[in-house]
Amino acid sequence: MKFNYELSNKVLRFIDKANLEEISIGCSDSQVFKIEKNNKLYFIKISSKGNLTSEYEKLKWLRGKLSVPKIVLYDCTDDTEFLITESINGEMVCSEYYLNNPEIGINVIANAFKQINNVDIKNCPFNVTLDYKLALVENNVNKNLIHVEDLKAETLKRFGNLENIIKFLKDNKFNDELCFSHGDVSLPNIFAIDNEFSGFIDVGECGIADKWFDLAICEKSIRRNYGEQYVSKFYEKLNIIPERDKIDYYLLMMELYL
């Protein structure tokens, strides 16, 4: 098993005599492994120091508020962070079963959104509103982390360069409809068991945000995994009339995400 980072002593003790399998699905900056130990499943994320702090703090805050993984171990060295959590029961709603039964998948996803909407933001300490997201993507562009060739052909034809996209996003800001946001409600992060929602993973970008951001991310993921015809079914299940200008704004913004 090849690790990209040197493991801490606490992590080495935890994984001793365990079976590990590297997980490559998802868009995380972390190295992720599934751990099988004493007939239980865990997951470990390993990343440069600072990359997992937010997720660790947010998992602690969400305990009892939303179905998310339980923290088993958090540790850090001078340059690396480690986060071990219990697994969420069930399977991703982009597993083979749900890809073959997208109607059931849409029901699960709709119920997942209802759980998100039940999280009270009154005392939520995490602000990931539109201005936060704009600063994030502008930083990505300024640091040359996003390249013109990463853009969709139609986006490049419309805007010409990355700077014009940033200008458009800044000039066309709208007021946030504040709610609790998971931050990455793509299908690999939604789990179900027996056709019922069972939990979320990857909550490092959760917090108070505009409601249309999560909807836009999920729409994109549904389109990719289930097909265009299920996007409208998704909004119907939520009894939402999509505001295309806001959704398209966030879909554009996502092209500047890492």
pLDDT tens for 7-24 read 999 999 999 999 999 987
pLDDT of residue 26: 53
Q: Across the 258 residues of the chain, what is the mean pLDDT of every consecutive 10-residue run?
A: 88 94 72 93 94 95 96 95 96 97 98 96 96 96 92 95 97 96 96 97 95 98 98 97 97 92
DSSP state of 206: -
Which of 73, 67, 37, 80 shows the shortest CA–CA distance to 198? Answer: 67
Total domains, the chain: 2
Q: Domain of 56: which CATH number?
A: 3.30.200.20
Whether 82 and 8 have beta carbons less than 8 Å apart is answered as yes
Distance CA 162, CA 142 (A): 10
Q: Domain of 95: which CATH number?
A: 3.90.1200.10
pLDDT of residue 25: 63
Catalytically annotated residues: 184
Is there a single domain that holds both residue 203 and residue 125?
yes
Is there a single domain that holds both residue 71 and residue 116?
no
Please spell the DSSP secondary structure of 168-184, one letter per residue: HHHHT-----EEEE-S-
Give every CB contact of residue 88 below 8 A, 6+ residues apart in sequence.
67, 68, 69, 191, 198, 199, 200, 201
How many CB atoms lie under 10 A from the CB of residue 103? 11
Is there a single domain that holds both residue 107 and residue 51?
no
Residue 3 lies in a domain: no
Residue 147 lies in a domain: yes
How many CB atoms lie under 10 A from the CB of residue 229? 10
Residue 1 lies in a domain: no
Give every CB contact of residue 27 below 8 A, 6+ residues apart in sequence.
184, 186, 258
Is there a single domain that holds both residue 217 and residue 100?
yes
Distance CA 28, CA 31 (A): 8
Is there a single domain that holds both residue 166 and residue 232?
yes
Is there a single domain that holds both residue 70 and residue 113?
no
Is there a single domain that holds both residue 96 and residue 189?
yes
Mean pLDDT of the residues in the chain: 95
pTM of the predicted model as reported, rounded to 2 decimal places: 0.92
Which of 119, 115, 123, 137 shows the shortest CA–CA distance to 189? Answer: 115
Is there a single domain that holds both residue 44 and residue 119?
no
Is there a single domain that holds both residue 189 and residue 75?
no
pLDDT of residue 23: 85
pLDDT tens for 40-49 read 999 999 999 9
Residue 174 lies in a domain: yes
Residue 4 lies in a domain: no
Is there a single domain that holds both residue 119 and residue 134?
yes
Residue ending a domain, among 86, 106, 127, is 86
Residue ending a domain, among 51, 86, 121, is 86
Residue ending a domain, among 30, 60, 86, is 86
Domain interval for residue 56? 9-86
Residue 108 lies in a domain: yes
Please give the order of strands across the beta sheet that includes 31-37. Answer: 19-23, 31-37, 40-48, 80-86, 71-76
Distance CA 80, CA 74 (A): 11
Cβ neighbourhood burial of 97 (10 Å; 0-12, 13-18, 19+): middle
pLDDT tens for 173-183 read 999 999 999 99
Is there a single domain that holds both residue 127 and residue 239?
yes
| CA-angle at 83, arms to 197 and 251, nearest 5° | 55
Residue 118 lies in a domain: yes
Residue 142 lies in a domain: yes
pLDDT tens for 50-79 read 999 999 999 999 999 999 999 999 999 999
Name the region of 207 (left: φ>0; alpha: ψ -120 to 50; beta: rest).
Answer: left
Distances (CA, A) of 217 to 52, 65, 181: 21, 22, 11
Whether 90 and 199 have beta carbons less than 8 Å apart is answered as yes
Is there a single domain that holds both residue 114 and residue 204?
yes
